[in-house]
Amino acid sequence: VKLAKVDSDTLTLLEEAEGGFDQFTRSYKSYGVQRMPDNSLVFKEWAPAAEALFLTGDFNGWDNFSHPYTKKEFGKWELHIPPKEDKTPAVAHNSKLKVSRSGERLFRISPWAKYVTRHEKSVIYDWVHWDPPQPYIHKHPRPQKPRSLRIYESHVGIASPEGKVASYSNFTHNVLPRIKDLGYNCIQLMAIMEHAYYASFGYQVTSFFAASSRCGTPEELKELIDVAHSLGIIVLLDVVHSHASKNTEDGLNHFDGSDSCFFHSGPRGEHSLWDSRLFNYSGWEVLRFLLSNLRWWMEEYRFDGFRFDGVSSMLYHHHGIGSGFSGDYAEYFGLQVDEDSLVYLMLANHILHTLYEDCITIAEDVSGMPTLCCPIQGGGLGFDYRLAMAIPDKWIQILKEFKDEDWNMGNIVFTMTNRRYGEKCIAYAESHDQALVGDKTLAFWLMDKDMYTNMSTSIPMNSVIDRGIQLHKMIRLLTHSLGGEGYLNFMGNEFGHPEWLDFPRVGNNESYHYARRQFNLVDTDHLRYWQLYAFDRDMNRTEDKYGWLAAPPAYISVKHEGDKVIVFERANVIFIFNFHPTNSYSNYRVAVGPPGKYKIKLDSDGIQYGGHGRLDHNTEFFTEPMEFNNLPNSMLVSKLYYFLP
């Protein structure tokens, strides 16, 4: 509640000093470079420690001193450049610019730069003035917020079977149709904010307002989002406000020559594990920069919300380094909590949800901070969802450490359901974290080298592939139905992508071989990847029909350790899982809610999904309790209707 008061006080200050948060968060319309109605250009920066600023570039033949900024109050600098004699802007669209400080040869990029590019043989990025004569105009309205969130986590650069950086246009034309077909209604785009080091996966941001030029132009990204909207798919940006790259020449670091500016000075301003800089969230101009950054992506590109990266690092002075979280409330409400960061996140959520009714925000927090997804008025941080980060860790632990016969049904169910009531979670069996080199995807843990030689339907299925395919489906369905109020999948994992993810770097001879997604495997009819794809598609489509993600938590009736059976009911749907490695069961009795008629709607043992087809899908069950003959690995039974008592 005290933090809610601080948040309210900050909003009051914004009203008094800036005319309210609406105007404050539109500062991208006054900072950086702006073209006026008469085609004059106004350049504005905040550099409190600088003694002088100069603009140079193609427009003035790279003269270092011909265009000085004028110093204003509060560390701000401005430069006005009139139009040329023919009334066109003095700085043309697509021309290069740099900012320099007095007496230094170091050229800088404006923190507000909207587009930056790098020449193929260069290490440093260039600030490119982006002011196209025919900017992209969005044609389609934002879709309404989905009742059930099914997220396809995506990286545009790897979204192609080819060994290269894939484009926004490739994603628009070749990947969006797949996402629509699979039944996902939300895309979470990674690595959009410009980052100089490709292998950082987009988490070492250098230019916060610039969409990554590796994949194309800003207009092509806008088209991608617009086409997604036309398909009824919302798009979230993986936003990185938890830290920034240490780069100086093409990053924020030392922009005004000081150790602080946007960051804390000294040790508080550095993340020792990430080798990056940490924002000073109490700084007025830092708030202007970050909150305007959120507004920019919502307004200019029409994103529908954000997945906030690294929230655990933001929440604590120790950034989670060397700290385990047992769930004791003293770990969350002590002096180790960074209140400046908390207030920033509250401000961000308050402003976003006030301005955009259907905006969605997701927190990546591994610590389990209470109230993260509670209303700000009650002292919460105001996120809509949090990532259920314990679930993928549990699946990896089980596959690495336990034999099939030793799986603990109660422990699995506990992990799936261990969340605070009223705080919505995004469940996932694996995300990009599990796909990275040094780890393995679930498909690779399950099937390993056999994926290279035994995935053809033209040869008999061996025991490794049989087990792997069945467990791959069951793990996903159990996570999808029991683990949260939303579901996430990383691109390619829906069909069991056979290899890890590794970006070009010195250690792999700058190879793109593992920085791609082999969608061609799904398109090859005789490979079993298609069967996993089909199950993932039908799982999402079934959820879309019955809406279990939007339903209250499941009622669990069976966690049988001997039989290795889990049974629960959610959204008037009965889920039955048999995880026993060898046993099938005849006349298996299952408790249900109201009596009525039940029919099998999704069966992971279906032949079309690489199963053995042991169930008759035309069978209708009238009894209570139900009796299933020859219970296979997993299936989903939906109530068509039921009789009132």
Which residues have a catalytic role annotated?
309, 364
How far is CA 113 from its chain centroid?
23
The β-bridge partners of 631 are: 585
**40-71 in b/e burial notation, b at 16+ Cβ within 10 A?**
ebebbbbbbebebbbbbbbbbeeebeebebee
For residue 308, give both structure tokens.
């906030």
CB 515 within 8 A of CB 504: yes
Residues 6+ apart with CB under 8 A from 170: 156, 159, 160
**258-287 in b/e burial notation, b at 16+ Cβ within 10 A?**
eebbbbbeeeebbbeebebbbbbbebbbbb
Torsions phi, psi of 586, nearest 5?
A: -105, 145
Q: What is the DSSP string of 24-84?
A: HTTGGGTSEEEE-TTS-EEEEEE-TT-S-EEEEEGGGTT-SSSSBPEE-GGGEEEEEE---
For residue 233, give both structure tokens.
């798919």
The β-bridge partners of 116 are: 127
For residue 395, give both structure tokens.
């699946």
The helix (run of H) or strand (run of E) holding residue 21 is: helix 21-24
Strand-pair category, 234-239 with 186-190? parallel
Which of these, 554, 466, 595, 549, lies nearest to 185 by C-alpha position?
Answer: 549
CB 341 within 8 A of CB 315: yes
- Binning the chain into helix, strand and coil, the percentages to the nearest 5 are 30, 20, 45
Q: Residue 413 carries which side chain, given as an amino acid letter? A: V
Can you list the positions of beta strands (E) in 380-424?
A: 385-387
Q: What is the DSSP string of 601-643?
A: EEETT-GGGTS---S-TT-EE--SSEEESSB-SEEEEEEEEE-
3-state secondary structure of 441: coil
The β-bridge partners of 238 are: 307
CB 362 within 8 A of CB 386: yes
10 Å CB burial of residue 518 (0-12, 13-18, 19+) is middle
